[in-house]
Structures are given as structure tokens and as C-alpha cells.
Chains A and B, each alone.
Chain A
């Protein structure tokens, strides 16, 4: 029963992470990504996936996919139908799944965030649909596979489980909203375990869209830099296996970390621009702290949304300044988009895994491209990876349409 009357209210459970997977342009898996961030690598290169010859900007952070997907229950024919987005999702989920030690079951919810699902197949459908003479060859498969629920169904088939699917499409906050929603499902007793995350592949439509808005940096993505001139796009996926602490302990599972707070708010200021003072960002951070019962002084690291656009970074800086108050001057903040680009619907999930890696290994991920800190920032910008003692990390995700979400993770000791 998804909902019933009378509605049972469970005492909140602690929600722990027992599996985590990530794939970005820095590589596949937590180890490769941690190494890349620690080394301050920048993963941008000329776009090869589609024609950018007439675009203003011609680079992005493309993922190198392995030649074959192994370790899934998908038949070769099913594997052959997967697009880049589905492959990245399954690769990240595979890492989380194997680490969690979960077995296939019949009621395991999946909560995912994405902005465009299998858009590259939608683009291919359109290109073929307008060709003359008309051909329907392959079109039914493209229609089915481009839909986000199909990628979630493929994920379930790949690992042999089934359960309710929720796809949140809250623009660039989708991944954080998905993890936040999954956290609430477990915390409130609606599920003992949830597989959750976000995924996004680079597509021509979205690349062209951000280029048309002149939101892409023609030089280098430099979040919170005084001379920043735009964002850089990337692609990837991240997946977390969440469960109650009781379930994890019963199974004797390795616990990687804990999610302790989630906040969401809506910015009604403009479809694509944040409120100049970051009102909704502030509300989301405060709400996350409230659910976590934490004060800003207790947060040891903030992984900012930090896209590198003039408007986002100034609004977020104002919000962090106000939220952190007297903690601001010593609060380490960075944007890892400087290394892997903006992963849109996957960004919140990927950055949650970055925070988890930082908490597990006790280091601060850097904004590798920072040269001249934006004067608005009252907080400490991290420009080089460094060892640090971290107990709590907070990550922000903001999106078109005013979707704002904040997650707080805790180290597992």
C-alpha cells in the first residue's frame, strides 16, 4: 500500500549509506574519481558526441564508457538498446549494488533524478522522423528507450529486482531531490531500503540550449572566481544504496556514511535566474539543518552548487554568507564542477558521492580552477585538495524553475 487511511506514522529511522557508485569524466568508480579530484584534474575536452562546429563553445566533460557492460542480467539485445545515459546509470548502480551486498528482491524502490533521461534517443527519433523518404526502422525502440522510466526499468532488470519507480525531474536539483526523497522514504518507514541517485548524458539539445543562453564559459569554468564567465557541461551518474541503520546492522553491512538532513525550497523569482540574494537557497540550507538538528557551526565542508555563472555564484555566495553567519570565515567551500562540469540532473547525486568520499577519507575537494576569489564570498574557498577533519558535509543543488535542494551527510566512524 502506497498510502492508506489510517496513516501510520513511524518514528524516524537513521538512514545509512551501504553502497555508492559514481561515473564522471574523471573516470569510473569512487577510487578513480577521488584520485582525480585530489589531483585537481580538469576533465574537459572537445565535444565528440555531436556536431558543435557552429556552437560558441566546443568543449565539455565527456565520459569514456567501457567497451562493454558486464555483471548485469541484461541480455545482449537489451544491452544493445541502451543509450549513454542508461549505461552510465547502470555502471554507477553496479558499483553501489555490489558494495551494498543487496540481493534481488520484489519491493525495492528506485528514486532517480534526471533532466532529460534518454534524450539522445529522442533526438535520433526526431532526426529520422523528418527524413525523406520516411522510415520507421528502429523508431519504436527509440520511443520506448528514451523515456526516463525505461532507464529505471532497465536498471531493475539489470540487477534482478523490482519495486516502485519515482523519477524526479526538478532540473539541476533533480539528483539531490531524488536522494532527499529516498531518504524520506526510508526515514519515515515507507521502505527499509531504497536505491537512489541521478544520471545525465550530454546531448545536442541541452548543449545547444545552454550555449544559446550564453551560459557556457568560452574560457574555463571558474566557480566563485571574480572573473568567472560561465559554466561547463559534463555527464555522468551516481547511485547510493540507502537503508535503515537497523537493516544495515542486521546484515552486518559495511556502512559508508549517513544522510542526516534534507531541505527543499522553490525560488519563484525567475525561470532561469536565482533570486539575487539566494532566498530559496538559504531556505533549503536552513531546512536541511533543521531536519538534521544541526547548526552551521557544525558543518565542516560545503560542496556548493557553484556553476561558475555570474548570477548563480553571487546568489549562492550571499545565501551561504547569511546561512553560515559567524562560521563563514572558517567554513571550507568548493565547487567540484570546476573539474567535471555541471552534470545537471546528475549533479546533486554526484556531488553527494563526492561529499561521501571526502567524509570517508577526510579531505577537502577543491575548486581547481580558482584564481581570484569572488569578493562576495565571506567563506574560505578551497582551491587545492587538502586533508581535513570532517564530520558533516553539506551539498547544494539549484535548478531552472527555482528548484533548490540541500543534503547533509555525516561521516561514519
Chain B
């Protein structure tokens, strides 16, 4: 095996369904418009960035498993199917063993809130149809059912740095030949509870929703050759290692950049959230893309958009290497590097 390669990638974001609208929004560089989300007991609504309804409506939403599924499952499946592309047929036919690593911070919060509200009102009438959809791994289960894959399938919970850990896990499954392809998906859905919670810490933050997916495999994809070059250690926040120090260590492990490098960071224009990451990457001389400044704080989905944006730039040949920095909200700082590979030779940069 010569490496771990990107087979495909997909996105669902406040910019729309698919990588193309995300790319266009990032190119424009203007924040996607917000919408109002009512919050019980408050006269003034919360401002959020929501995924617009899909147009046309994807066929998968009519699948028996998806009809009652929560928005996060729709977003995850939408991004995953785009990332898989034509290979979804091979998975369904049993010709490809597809692993799934689904990552989320908040999970199926719409249905959890709704079910708990029903429980508080009258548990004897709480809906048995809603409860199973509250489970963290429901989206990954729906995706597996839709594709007909029975291979290993993990749902990981944590702060947004978990997505890069998920990429490392997928790479390990591929190296050990446990699967032929592995989808890594990060997804979140909006709810007033999440927006309210963020507001307790950062009043100017705008919560968003969606998903991003990367499909990895052990050989280059037909149309492009983008290789996962490395993922740093996760640097855990603690009393001994504050968030700022963890961000610096992840940056140091990734190494210095070259002029043909791109940085996809998690900066979003909220001073309290950005400070540590901005300081760690202060000396970055190359180009930057910051999806959260455009799409909002999408937590795990935003970390996935960062990966998708980096891979898309590599696929379009606008850079030779792309670094991804994720300085999570309360757990870890971690970074990764993808490289464009030409005929087996590539130009990794830094100390990875």
C-alpha cells in the first residue's frame, strides 16, 4: 500500500447541498445569510445559519429508513452519497467493504429535545417512533442500511477535533485491510438548545448545521490523486496544557508551510473562540480558507467542511499541500495535512 487516498468528498452546508455551493460561497467569502430561530420564552429570536431545503429533493429521503430520520441524518447521508459517488453501487452489490466513521458533537438534538419534552409533559404518550432517532449512532445506522453495508461502523462523539481522529481511524482500518473504503462524516443539526448553549459562552457566535464527508481508500482515485499525508497527535486541553498551548503544539508538529500551501482553519470571527488558533498560526505565510467565517459555527460539520474545502482546492490544483487546523471547543487541538500526488511523487511540506 502506497498510502491512503481521497476517493471522493461531499458537503451539505448553509450554502446548499453539495460541494459546489460550498466552494462558491467560500470563493465569494461573504457570510451566508442568517435566519431567525424562535426560542421558547424569549421574545427575540436566535440567529442561525441553516441548511436550505434541497432542490431537487434527493431520492434517498424517500427511503423507508429516512422518512422519519432527523435532519442530521439527512445531511450526513447527503454528504456521504456525494463522497461515494458511483461507488455506492459497488457497496450495495457487496463488491466493496465500506467502513463508516460518523462524528458529531451534539447528535440528534432535535428529536432528543422533543422526546424529553414529551416525557416531561406525559411519559405515557412519549413517541416510540422518536426515541430511537435520538441515539447518537442513528445517522450512521441509516446510512449503512441505505447502502447495504455490514462492515464496521463507529460513531465517535467529542469536540470538533474528533473528526481528524476519525480520519486516522479510517486510515487504520484501510491499512489493516479491514475495509476497502471508509467514509468519515462530520455532521450537526440546528436546535435552539445548541444556539442557546453557545450563547452562554460567546454571544456573537452563530450556530450552523450540515455535514461533510470524505471517502478514503488505499489507491488514488481515477480523477485525482490526493493523499492523506499525516495527522498530528491530539493535544488534549488540561490544567497542565491550556488550549493555547495545545494549539501551538499541534501547529509545531505539523511543521512550517511552503509557498504553495493552503491552510484551512477554524477561525470564525469570534474573538474568544479564535484567539488560541490565530496565535498558533500567526506565522502562516500561505493562503488561508476559513469556512466558519462563511458558514458559521457548525462544530463537527465545520471541521468536515474544512477538510472538504482543503481537498477540493487540491483537486482543482490550486495548491500542492493543504493543512487543516482544528482547535476544538473543549477537548483537543489537532491538525492534518493532505497532499496532491502526481504519478506517485508528491510534495509534503513540514515535519510530518
Contact = CB atoms under 8 A, between A and B. Distances in A.
B110 interface: no
Contact of B144 (A139, A213, A268): A268
B159 interface: yes
Interface of chain B: mostly helix, strand, loop or mixed: mixed
Contact of A212 (B127, B142, B151, B175): B127
A285 to B, nearest CB: 14
Given A5-B228, A177-B154, A265-B150, A153 B123 contact: no
A204 interface: yes
B59 interface: no
A107 B152 CA distance: 27
Interface residues of A, number: 77
A77 interface: no
B148 A268 contact: yes
Contacts of A168: 154-157
Given A149-B158, A165-B332, 5 more contacts: A3-B230, A157-B238, A169-B157, A212-B128, A401-B140
Closest 10 CB pairs of A and B: A401-B141, A209-B131, A169-B136, A3-B168, A208-B119, A401-B137, A268-B145, A2-B168, A212-B128, A3-B231
B81 to A, nearest CB: 16
Contact of B132 (A130, A163, A268, A400): A400
Given A177-B154, A205-B119, A166 B165 contact: yes
B268 interface: no
Given A3-B168, A401-B137, A162 B124 contact: no
Contacts of A213: 128, 131-132
Contact of A211 (B4, B120, B123, B240): B123
A260 interface: no
A254 interface: no
B119 A400 contact: no
B156 A167 contact: yes
A400 B137 contact: yes
Contacts of A3: 4, 167-168, 171-172, 228, 230-231
Given A3-B168, A205-B115, A271-B141, A167 B152 contact: no
A144 interface: yes
Nearest to B146: A268
B120 A127 contact: yes
A148 B158 contact: yes
Contacts of B197: 125, 139, 143
Contacts of B164: 2
Contacts of B200: 136, 139-140, 143
Interface string B285-302: 000000000000000000
A151 to B, nearest CB: 11
A147 B331 CA distance: 10
Interface string A243-273: 0000000000000000000001111110110
A148 B157 contact: yes
Contact of A170 (B115, B137, B231): B137
B66 to A, nearest CB: 11
13 contacts: A1-B233, A4-B231, A153-B237, A157-B238, A162-B238, A165-B332, A168-B154, A169-B135, A205-B115, A209-B131, A266-B144, A271-B145, A400-B138
B238 A266 contact: no
A21 B227 CA distance: 42
A205 B231 contact: no
Given A3-B230, A266-B152, A162 B134 contact: no
Contacts of A279: 150
A267 B331 contact: no
Contacts of B127: 212
A162 B158 contact: no
Nearest to B230: A4
Contacts of B352: 1, 4
B234 interface: yes
Interface in B38-92: 40-42, 65
B234 A164 contact: yes
A231 to B, nearest CB: 14
